[in-house]
């Protein structure tokens, strides 16, 4: 009865039937739609929703990871800046210490050179005194020999050692007094 009523409803040439509407085709389309919806829901919608949810979670995890990495980057940059500052301070300290050590070494070398120069001068003065003393002795010997020869030539006799010594001592005393 409902089917005939439905058929009569769409079969009339007036009203909805005049527009070409068929109730039986409409019901078949609804049943087909429901069946297709159920099949898609069971085998297509769930896997598609699962993939979409996984993608959303992956994107959210990526965003969180990006935020964490940005925070870690800032912290790492702060640590690097601090390490660079500390390194610069230590390098400045090392350079300062090296400069002080260099000054000390230079000062010590200058003092050692000064001491060595003084030693060389003292040694030279000592050698000069020795050579001067030796030269005076040689000169005195030569002078004694000359005096002896001159005395022999003047007095025309050979002077003995005792007389020669007396004459030499007198001549030297005169030279020292002058």
Q: What is each CA distance from 80 to 40, 83, 87, 93, in whole angstroms?
A: 56, 5, 10, 20
pLDDT tens digits along 27-55: 999 999 999 999 988 888 888 888 999 99
Structural domain boundaries of the chain?
Answer: 2-177
Distance CA 42, CA 39 (A): 5
pTM above 0.75, yes or no: no
pLDDT tens digits along 124-170: 889 998 898 888 888 777 776 776 677 667 766 666 667 767 767 77
Q: What is each CA distance from 57 to 64, 95, 101, in whole angstroms?
A: 10, 55, 64
């Amino acid at each position: 009865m409902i089917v005939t009523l439905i058929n009569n409803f769409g079969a009339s040439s007036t009203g909805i039937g005049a527009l070409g509407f068929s109730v039986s085709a409409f019901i078949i389309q609804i049943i087909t739609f429901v069946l297709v919806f159920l099949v898609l829901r069971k085998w297509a919608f769930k896997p598609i929703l699962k993939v979409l949810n996984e993608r959303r979670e992956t994107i959210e995890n990526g965003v969180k990871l990006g935020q964490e990495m940005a925070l870690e980057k800032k912290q790492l940059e702060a640590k690097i800046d601090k390490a660079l500052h500390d390194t610069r301070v230590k390098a400045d300290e090392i350079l300062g210490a090296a400069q002080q050590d260099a000054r000390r070494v230079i000062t010590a070398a200058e003092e050692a050179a000064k001491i060595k120069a003084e030693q060389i001068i003292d040694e030279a003065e000592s050698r000069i005194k020795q050579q001067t003393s030796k030269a005076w002795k040689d000169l005195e010997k030569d002078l004694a020999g000359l005096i002896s020869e001159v005395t022999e030539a003047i007095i025309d006799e050979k002077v003995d050692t005792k007389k020669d010594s007396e004459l030499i001592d007198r001549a030297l005393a005169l030279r020292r007094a002058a």
